[in-house]
Structure 1
Amino acid sequence: MGDLKLAADFPAVNRAEWMKRVEAVLKGAGFEEKLVRTSPDGIRLEPIYGQLAAPRAARAAQVPWTLFQRADHPDAVRANEQALDDLANGATGLVLVTQDAATARGHGLDPARLARVLQGVHLHAVALRVEGSGSMALAELIAKEPIDPERLNVSFALTSPADAAELARRGYTGPYMEADGRSWHEQGATDAQELGATLATAVATLRALENLNDAHLVRSTGITLAANQDMFATLAKFRAIRLLWRRVLQAAGLPDAPLRLHAETSWRMMAVKDPHTNILRATAAVFGAGLGGADSITVLPFSLAQGLPNAFARRVARNVQNVLAEESNLWRVADPALGAGYIETYTQGLAQAAWKVFQAAEAGDWPVPDPDSKASLPIIGTTAYPLKQEYAPETEAL
């Protein structure tokens, strides 16, 4: 059997030859009108690009992202059962969503019952995130255990700089506070608006924590962004926030440090009707966030918009990530989009547009999202191709 040259056997094709073939197919139709589109942030996106040189935007360590599952059942015993089941079947982290959290969606934990919720959970071996008012309750719970806080992977959701300073004194490495873009996304913000407003919130947090030393300060703030079904837009958005954060640290004269970046699949894109289509939306969102460099990801169970998800919906949410991380191995390549013309153009365009939003917010002019925006809203199963008969909801009876 002779040597296989594969691509080398084919003649090289330049852009002019490609355009000639495209024009033949279009038969007089306009190239700009048919094949060039403009993103909601005004970024011009063409159908073909060459390789582009650009800065790297990757996670700090080339390891699998943390697979988070929500712990949000109002019954502490049931929440504990779900948490242990999640951790036994692929989850590597828990999001402790308390009743007063904006992300509780009508459910949530009682902070006073955290000890019961986490009974049997090896806190040193899993990642934890707090959403809502449970941060200090969790810190007090940990203080009763023979655990070195410095070795824990905990992302708090504090609102008090004094509490952040106290956790730093106890040895926690942060993040202590979160700049959260999800609320902007849910109001209909464009990707650049979400990025710029979130960055402004993160910078305000840094200013509030000026009493921390530089080493703690650069690790003090985490950022959470929404990941939607447009996988390429999501990929570009997550790469852009790393470039923006790097620029902020440089401008502030702080040492370069990796951003702790969390993704959650978009609540805005969740369909109430034919909710099983949400599984496909979540898959695309995780694909984009995972390749875009998210350190951790939460998938909202596909039936969350209908009520408290049951065991099946939670298992599917968990396995969307398990399959993409462990079978598709998306985490194994550092910044796989680096140099790809389309993604680099999208990333740089978002970063530039977001920086303008950030500068305006710094001057007191925060973005005003369009509540009527159609961006990220579900289509299939909701307004197009609806089911003749809906399936029974995959929710728990409360």
Structure 2
Amino acid sequence: MNVVVASTTTGTPALPGKTVDRGSRCGAEPQDAPDSHHILRLPQELWDEIIDYIDHDQAAFSACSLTCRAWAAAFRPHLFHHLRLTARSLPHIQQILHSNAHLAKYTTRVIIDYEGNPSVLSQLRQHTVLANVLSTLPNVTQLKLLAMAVTPSLISALSTVSPHIRELRVGCLVATSLEAYVQFIRAFPHLRALSLKEISSLLKGHWDVYPTLLARVMHQRRLTYDWQRATDRLCAPGGGNHCTALDAILQNIPPSLESLCLESQAWSNFHVPVSHRMDHTSVRSLELRFMTPMDEYWSPVFLWHTRMTGIREISFHFYFPVDHYFERVVSTLSSMVLSLRLPQLQTVAFVIWTAQTDSVEDYTAYIELIRELLLHLHEAGSLVLRILWASHVAEIGMSRLVN
């Protein structure tokens, strides 16, 4: 068994080389002349290398942009790589982009987050502004939607960027008809990665956890607070076909999709399609988060009826504390993997999201259990156990189970 331990610190690892003294001018010695900051006017190739290196670290971008004038010119535009649009910030960002149109070309990732103000009526009023902002961003390829109500005006507002989106992450999405979900997913014809986190959680009914968006929709439509009736409103009519929001989306995902991630709130309300099996041969990677005791029942059914014969890697995610159900669920998953026809399967990964105080050694027993239950994959060197900190996405260890 080989164990590879990754970085355990947050943020961007330090670049090799000379440490910059924050008290000096751009790393120069105190006795240097004031005009010496041109020394750090680096070649464009090196700027590009540094920018790519810290691409996901907004704090590092901000720190670099405050170093000196030369660094400010290179790094400040890239502070707009990642835009978070909220009900409060949307008008302000619109004004900034209107006054500084050259910044729009740097934005590649956008989060539209209405969790702070999930009122459907408020969202409807802002769709014109949202459309204006998105129309100025030509290079957006990654989009994340939080607490969104699917309406025709939302789909229209997204239309300027949706054809270019390659990665879509969805959380707290709700609509009042299955057709709305169909129109929504069809607006993204070139997706390569799709993550569905909390679509059906709103339909399934955690009233104490999610009292926001669906409650407002139900109130506006004068629906009863009976969750089963609310769910029935989103089921397709006809003899026994229990189509849900997840079915509507999965049946209409584009053929370009290669990676699919589903969280338990999205698929735990999955109903078996009666008349057909959904064929998604383009999908190469499937992640299922987070496994619970109920998943030993739904997961085999779900995978059987979605038929992803092109899968090369399946990841099963568990959230700490891993309880007594772990062995039972892993046993079910082992039988399922054996029975499925996945000719291209290369890796089965078990990912445990754990407390920051834990170490890889704390999970030796789970490594042995997985190896024992999935002996056929262990012998082929296809089993992986990854340990992630739950407080922030940082891998503290990876074990590949080999002979």
What TM-score, normalized to structure 1? 0.31
What TM-score, normalized to structure 2? 0.31
More strand by share: 2
Q: Which has the higher contact order (CA 8 A, sep 6+)?
A: 1
